Structure 1
Amino acid sequence: MAAAPSTAPATFPAVVTPAYGGPVEERVVRAADRMMARDSALNAVIAISPDHRNQATALDRAPRSGPMFGMPVLVKDNVEIAGLPTTAGSLALAGNVTGRDAPIIARLRQAGAVILGKTNLSEWANIRSTGSISGWSAVGGQTRNPYALDRNTCGSSSGSGAAVAAGYSDYAIGTETDGSITCPASMTGVVGLKPTLGLVSRTHIIPISESQDTAGPMTRTVRQAAELLTVIAGSDAADPATREADARRADYVAGLSPDALRGKRIAVLRFAAGFGTDALFEQAVAALKAAGAEIVEVKAFKPTGDFGNDEYQVLLTEFKAGLNAYLQDSPAAVPRSLAEVIAFNSANGAREMPLFGQEIFEAAEKTRGLSDPAYRKARANSLRTASADLDRLLKGVDAVVFPTRPAAWKIDAVHGDVSPGGNGIGSMAAVAGYPHLTVPMGLIRGLPVGLSFVGPKWSDGRLLAFGHAYETVRGALPVAHFLRSIEESPEIAPALEPQRNRLNAG
C-alpha cells in the first residue's frame, strides 16, 4: 500500500537579521528576509536590489514625505531599474544593465517607495512560443503558485502576483498586453489593475505592442492598488500615448468609498461566466447587491466579430518594430534586433529553449513593419470590433462584471498551458485600451479566482472605487499556505483514496 500523501505545507528556515536602524529599514529588511527564506519554493523573484537596505536607511534619516513613504515595491523584470539587469527573463538580455530608471520607477522613488527587486515573468512576456509554460523564464525558472506549488501562476506578470500572494511585499508592478496583469492576479489571489492605455508611461519597458502595452499595480488590497496607481499615473513626453494622462489622473485613494456601488448599475455578464466559478460568482453578485448596486443581467451576447487573428497580426508587427527600437536604444551590450535574439536563442538552445521554441519570434521577424497596409487594416479592425462590442455591453451601465479566469491549472512541461477557458471580455478591454480590474472573489477547492470589473476608457478611479466597495462587503479571504499540491490538502486528499472498507467487505 502506498503511503498517504503529506498534507503539510512547505516549511521555510528562519532568517535572523541584525538590529534595525529605523522603521523603514525594519520593514524592508523583513520583506527581503521573507523572500530569501521562501523563494526557493516559488521562483517569484529574479533579483533583489543590492541597495535595498541603503534605500531604507536613507528614508529613515529623512523627513517623512511622499504617499508611499517606506513601502517596498517589487517590479516585473521587463521594467528598467538603475543598477539591475532588465532581462525579460531571457539569457540574451542578461547583460542589459542600462543605468536608467523607467519613468514609473522614478515616480515611485519620488513618492518615497523602496525598490526591493525584480520579479520573474513568462519569458519575453509570453510572446516567444505558442507552446510556452506561463511563469517560466530561462533566467528565473518556473514561478510557482503559493496556494499550491504544482499549480501555474498564469502570465506574464507571474512573479509579481506570486510575490504579493506570498507576503514578500504588498505592492508590485506588472505589465499587460492582453491578460498579463489580470490573469496572474486572479490565479494568485491578489488585486490587479490593467489601467486605461495611456494613463501610465511605457518608456524604458521592454515592449510587445504600442497599441496595447501598459504597466499597472498588483497588490494585496484595492486601496493599495489605488495608492500605487496614484503614484505611477501621469504624462511622459517620451510616450505620446500618455499625452492626456496628467489631465485624466486623480487621487485614486481619495475616490474610494464603501458606498461607491450604491445606486450604480452593474451589468452581470452571465455569458462570460462558467469554468467552475458559478457558485462564487453568485456570492459576488449578492455582495454587489448588498453594497447597493442595481444588477443588470446579461445572459447572452453576440460579438460583432472575432478580432483574435487581427490582434495577433498587430502584436507580431508591433513587437518586431518596438523590440528593435528598444534594443537599439539600450546603452548596454545586448543584441540589437529581434533577428539577433533569434540567432542567440538558436545558438544557446539547450539553456534558452529546453522546453519550447521561438515560433512566435520567427513569425514576428517576417512582418513588414508599421507601414504595412495589412498591419494597419488589422489594427483598425481589431480596435473597432473590441471597442464597439465593449461599448454595447457598457451602454446604460457603470461597469460590467464577470469571473476573471478559471482556477489555476497544473504546471505541465509536456502540453504547455492548458487553461479551461475565460478572458474573452478581458481581451476586449486589452485591445480597446479600456481599464480592467480584478479583485479576489474566493477559493475553489483552495485555489483563488478573481472578479473582474471593466469600464469605459479613463474610468480607472470608478473601477477602483467599485472594487473597494465589493472588497469591503466580501470580507477577508484565506491566505496562501504553500501546499505542495491541492490534491494533498486535508479537504481533498481523503476523497482521492479508494474506499478500501467497502471494496474489502466481501
Structure 2
Amino acid sequence: MRYHVLPLIAALAGCASLPVVPQADLSTPTGQVSAYLQRIEAVDDAGPRIGAVIAINPDALKQAQIAQGMAGPLAGKAVLIKDNIETADPMPTTAGSLALKDNVTGRDAPLVARLRERGVVILGKTNLSEWANIRSPNSQSGWNAVGGQTRNPHAIDRNPCGSSSGSGAAIAAGMAWAAIGTETDGSITCPASVNGIVGFKPTVGLISRTHIVPISHSQDTPGPMTATVRDAALLTTAMAGSDPLDPATARADLHAEDFTAGIDTASLAGVRIGVLRKQAGTDARVLAVFDAALADMKAAGVVLVEVPFDWDNALFRDEGLVLYYELKHDLTAYLAGLPGNPPVRSLADVIAFNTANAATELRWFGQETFERADKLTDRAAYEKARENSLRLAGRDGIDKLLAAHNVTLLVAPTEGPAWPIDYVTRASALPGVGAGSLAAVAGYPHLSVPMGAVEGMPVGLSIMGAQWQDKAVLHAGAAYERARTAAIPVATLKRWGE
C-alpha cells in the first residue's frame, strides 16, 4: 500500500505549481526529481514492484524549484527518508504500523530540518520493517502492514535485510540520490551490505534522534545510505550537531566537522587495520570475497593485523534486556507526545491495537518482544545489563582490541549474501558472518562498503572504529573504495538466477 493518491507523473503534470519535465533535464533539480519519480513509478509501483517507497512527497517538485536558487553541494539533491523519521511534509510517519497510518505530525526531525536548510529535496518516505524490526524475533525484514514487503533489487525474491530495508533497496534500484536510515543493531549496515550500497552508522549522539520513532536511546541513531562513501560523508556533515532535546548529542558539536575534507585524497598507506577473521564465517565464497578486499587494502599500503575475538554471549543477553526495557519507556514517551489523536499512546496501546487487528498486523509473526518488554519493571537489572553490555562491546571490546593490537580500525564482512524471502520456513542469513553488534552496542561508528558479490548477490565490508572516530572510518572507506578491484554487481530487478 502506498500512501499517495497518484498516478504519479500524470497527476503531478496536472498541477501548475509542480511542473514536470517530460524529457527530464538532469542538469536541474526539477529534472532530477522528475526522473526519480518516473523511476519509482517504473520499478516500485510497476514492473518488479520493489516496494521500497511507502510515500511520495507531493511537494517534492516544488521543493526542487526552490532548490534551483540555492547554493551548496546538497542543493537539489533528492533524498528519501525512512518512515520512522518525521518530516513536515504532508506525509504520515507510520513506522510501518496501521496504528500510525494517519500520523501526520507537521514537524521536521532536526536531521531533516538540517538537510532542508541545505536545499535537500525530500522526495518521499521509504518502507521499513514494522516498528524497526523490534516487534518479534520472528519478524520478516522489509515487511510491514502499511507498505507490504520490500524486495532486494539484486534478486526480487530475496531479502533486503534490516529495518532500513526500503532505504537500501531504493538506492540500489536508483530511486533517489540518497536515503536516510536508522539503526539500533544492523539496520543500516545490513541492508547496505545485501543491497550493494554504502551505509554509515555514526557514533551514537553525533546526529539527533528527536522526532524519530524510537527503540533504544542507548543504541538508536540515524545515518546515510548512499552510492558512494563521499556522499555518506556529505550527508553526515549536514546532519551532525547537538540538539537540546536529545541529551545523547550533548558532545556532538565538539565532533561535528566537514567529514568530506580530505576524503578525495585519503590514503590507506601505513594504516594498521585489525582483521576480525573469526567474524568472517566459514562460507568459502564469502571468505574469498573478503580475502580479495584484504588484498586490495594490502596493495594500498595497509598493514593487516589478525585480531582474534570471540563473542561473549552475555553481550547479546544484556543487549536484549536493554533494548526491551528502553523500548517500553522510549516508545511510550514518543507516542504520548505525538500531536493529534493517534489511537495509541503507549506500548500497551500498540499491543492492544495489534491484537484487535490481528488479521492484518499479526498474520505472519507475532509481537512477543512487545509483550515481553511491556512486562519489564526491574530498573536495577536493566542498569546492570546496560553497564555490562557497554563494557563488553566498548571498553573490553572495540577499545581493547584496538589498543592490544595497535590498530586504528577493525574490518570484517558485514553480512553474507541475501537470503530468500520466506514467511513459512523463515529462511535466514549465513551464520557467523559480521561483527556489527560490537559497534552497535558500544555506540561506535560502523561503515559498510560494497566489496564484491557471491553468486551475483552483494556482500559488504565493515569498517569500525572507536567512539567519535567517524571521520577516520569514512576516510578509510573512501580510500578502500578507490583501491577496490572487485566487480560490484548492478541490480538486475529480476528473481535470483534469471
TM-score if structure 1 supplies the norm length? 0.90
Offset, 1:260:
2.1
Corresponding position of 1:306? 314
Structure 1 pair 75–286 and aligned structure 2 pair: CA distance change class (3 A): same
Deviations, residues 111-145 of structure 1 (Å, cap 9, x unaligned): 11100000000100001111111000111111000
Distance 2:434 2:266 in 1: 29
> Which sections of structure 2, spanning at least 5 residues, go unmatched?
1-7, 11-19
Residue 39 of structure 1: which of 38, 44, 54 is its match?
Answer: 44
Offset, 1:415:
2.8
The reply to whether residue 356 of structure 1 matches residue 362 of structure 2 is: no
Which amino acid in structure 2 is aligned with residue 290 of structure 1?
Answer: A
Deviations, residues 136-171 of structure 1 (Å, cap 9, x unaligned): 011111100000000001111000000000011131
Corresponding position of 1:285? 294
Which amino acid in structure 1 is aligned with residue 453 of structure 2?
Answer: L
Corresponding position of 2:113? 106
Residue 22 of structure 2: which of 6, 15, 18 is its match?
Answer: 18
Offset, 1:424:
5.2
> Which sections of structure 1, spanning at least 5 residues, go unmatched?
1-12, 489-506
Q: Secondary structure of 1:307's match? A: helix
Aligned residues of 1:175 and 1:181 also touching (Cα < 8 A) = yes
Structure 1 pair 383–424 and aligned structure 2 pair: CA distance change class (3 A): farther
Corresponding position of 2:401? 393
Which amino acid in structure 2 is aligned with residue 282 of structure 1?
Answer: D
Corresponding position of 2:375? 366
Distance 1:366 1:437 in 2: 35
Residue 350 of structure 2: which of 341, 356, 363 is its match?
Answer: 341
Corresponding position of 1:465? 475
Offset, 1:303:
4.4
Aligned residues of 1:202 and 1:213 also touching (Cα < 8 A) = yes
Q: Secondary structure of 1:437's match? A: strand
Q: Which has the larger radius of gyration?
A: 1
Distance 1:207 1:157 in 2: 14
Residue 447 of structure 1: which of 433, 457, 467 is its match?
Answer: 457
Aligned residues of 2:79 and 2:178 also touching (Cα < 8 A) = yes
C-alpha RMSD of matched pairs (Å): 1.8
Residue 209 of structure 1: which of 199, 211, 216 is its match?
Answer: 216
Alignment of 1:464-503 (within 5 A): 464-475=474-485, 477-486=488-497, 488=498
Which amino acid in structure 2 is aligned with residue 415 of structure 1?
Answer: T
Q: Secondary structure of 2:422's match? A: coil
Corresponding position of 1:223? 230
The reply to whether residue 327 of structure 1 matches residue 335 of structure 2 is: yes
Residue 267 of structure 1: which of 251, 264, 274 is its match?
Answer: 274
Offset, 1:69:
0.7
Deviations, residues 15-34 of structure 1 (Å, cap 9, x unaligned): 99536698110011111110
Distance 2:169 2:492 in 1: 12
Corresponding position of 1:500? none
Deviations, residues 71-102 of structure 1 (Å, cap 9, x unaligned): 00001000001121000000010011110000
Structure 1 pair 423–101 and aligned structure 2 pair: CA distance change class (3 A): farther
Deviations, residues 352-409 of structure 1 (Å, cap 9, x unaligned): 111111111111110117xx11111111111111111212221210101110111000
Distance 1:417 1:79 in 2: 29
Between 1:273-282 and 1:475-484, the stretch displaced more is 475-484
Residue 256 of structure 1: which of 263, 266, 274 is its match?
Answer: 263
Residue 115 of structure 1: which of 99, 115, 122 is its match?
Answer: 122
Corresponding position of 1:200? 207
Q: Secondary structure of 2:435's match? A: helix
Structure 1 pair 484–210 and aligned structure 2 pair: CA distance change class (3 A): same
Corresponding position of 2:390? 383
Which amino acid in structure 1 is aligned with residue 341 of structure 2?
Answer: A
Aligned residues with identical type, % of pairs: 56
Which amino acid in structure 2 is aligned with residue 242 of structure 1?
Answer: T
Distance 2:462 2:424 in 1: 31
Deviations, residues 406-456 of structure 1 (Å, cap 9, x unaligned): 100000111335122245521011011110000001111100000000000
Offset, 1:108:
0.5
Corresponding position of 1:30? 35
Corresponding position of 2:139? 132
Distance 1:423 1:76 in 2: 26
Residue 144 of structure 1: which of 145, 151, 154 is its match?
Answer: 151
Distance 2:222 2:177 in 1: 17
Matched residue count: 470
Between 1:14-23 and 1:372-381, the stretch displaced more is 14-23
Which amino acid in structure 2 is aligned with residue 445 of structure 1?
Answer: E
Between 1:259-268 and 1:221-230, the stretch displaced more is 259-268
Corresponding position of 1:494? none
Deviations, residues 203-254 of structure 1 (Å, cap 9, x unaligned): 0000000000000010000011011101011111100100111110111111
Distance 1:454 1:482 in 2: 31
Q: Secondary structure of 1:309's match? A: helix
Which amino acid in structure 2 is aligned with residue 478 of structure 1?
Answer: P
Structure 1 pair 217–422 and aligned structure 2 pair: CA distance change class (3 A): farther
Q: Secondary structure of 1:362's match? A: helix
Which amino acid in structure 2 is aligned with residue 346 of structure 1?
Answer: T
Corresponding position of 2:190? 183
Distance 2:462 2:115 in 1: 26
Structure 1 pair 431–423 and aligned structure 2 pair: CA distance change class (3 A): farther
Residue 159 of structure 1: which of 147, 166, 181 is its match?
Answer: 166
Corresponding position of 1:499? none
Which amino acid in structure 1 is aligned with residue 488 of structure 2?
Answer: L
Aligned residues of 1:179 and 1:423 also touching (Cα < 8 A) = no
Offset, 1:305:
5.5
Aligned residues of 2:57 and 2:91 also touching (Cα < 8 A) = yes
Distance 2:83 2:456 in 1: 29
Aligned residues of 2:21 and 2:30 also touching (Cα < 8 A) = no
Structure 1 pair 302–477 and aligned structure 2 pair: CA distance change class (3 A): closer
Which amino acid in structure 1 is aligned with residue 36 of structure 2?
Answer: A
Distance 2:24 2:137 in 1: 48
Offset, 1:110:
0.6
TM-score if structure 2 supplies the norm length? 0.91
